[in-house]
Each structure stands twice: as structure tokens, then as C-alpha cells.
Amino acid sequence: MAQYTRAGSARPQSGGWELAIWYLMRLTGLGLFVLALAHYIIVHFVYDPAMQNADWISARWANAAWRTADWLMLSFVVFHAFMGVRTVVQDYTKGTTRMVLTMLLYLGAFLIFAMGTIGLVTFPSAIPVKP
């Protein structure tokens, strides 16, 4: 297999974490091709945003399969989006700036993943949820 392609980032030669991340970017990307596009089509094409509210989410998440699929999408998207921005940061910065921004990205990824997971797991499935 060729070592370089014209697209995306070149496959890391060093192996280890960077190579694992390179493969995971492609794997999560393929996963999101299905999950994220399906999600967008469901909430914007099949159902109009005008008919959606917290109750609507509640009804959807009464089914554990939707919660599981959405949590899988959350995991993929947090990895893919933050590692993607990490590539951008590493392309345009160096030294301390690069290190600080990369650490901020890891922290942000953790926070967003935690917020999303808490939201997904604790969201009440009973209707109605409004006070």
C-alpha cells in the first residue's frame, strides 16, 4: 500500500498512537457517514424542527436503541471532531501555543463527552418532562 496519498493527512510512519489515531479517524468517519447523516435526515427531513421539543426527545429516547445509537454517535463525533481540530491546530501552531491548545482540546473533548453522556443517560423518558 502506498505510504502517502494526496488526500487528508499522510499515514503516520512512526506507528504507535499517531497511527492508531489515523486509523480511528477513518473508522469513526465511516461510522459518522451513516450515523450523522441519518441523524440529520431524521431531525431535519423526516421530522420538521417546528414539531420538536423536549417532549419529542423524551418520546424518542423512551426506546433504549435510540439512546444507544445516539451515544455511539456522540462517542464517534467527539473523537473525530476534536482530533480533526487537533490536526488543524498542529498545522498552524508550534511550541507552547501548540501544546496549550492541544491540551485545551483534550479537556474540551472530555467535557463535551461528559455533558453529552450525562444528558443522554439521565434524560427522563416519561412524558411530559416540562414543569
Partner 1 sequence: MLFRYRGSEGMLAWAFHRISGVAIWAFILLHVFDIWLANVNAKLYDDLLTLYASAGGRVVESLLGAALLYHALNGLRIVIMDFWPSMTRYHKQLWYANWVLFAVIGLPILVQIMAPAFGLQPPFRLGG
Q: Which residues bind partner 1 (CB under 8 A)?
A: 1-2, 5-8, 11, 26, 29-30, 32-33, 36-37, 40-41, 44-54, 57, 74, 77-78, 81-82, 84-85, 88, 108, 112, 115-116, 118-120, 122-123, 129-131
Q: Which of 52, 51, 55 is nearest to 124 (CA)?
A: 55
- Taking the C-alpha atoms of residue 31 and residue 69, their distance in angstroms, rounded to an integer, is 11
Distinct helix (H) and strand (E) counts, the chain: 4, 0
Nearest distance in Å: CB 99, partner 1: 20
Among residues 130, 128, 124, the alpha carbon closest in space to that of 61 is found at 124
Q: Which is nearer to partner 1, 46 or 65 (CB)?
A: 46
Instruction: Tell me whether residue 88 or residue 100 sits nearer to partner 1 (CB atom).
Output: 88
- 77: three-class secondary structure by DSSP: helix
- Minimum CB separation from partner 1 for residue 26, in Å? 5
Is 54 or 72 the residue whose CB approaches partner 1 more closely? 54
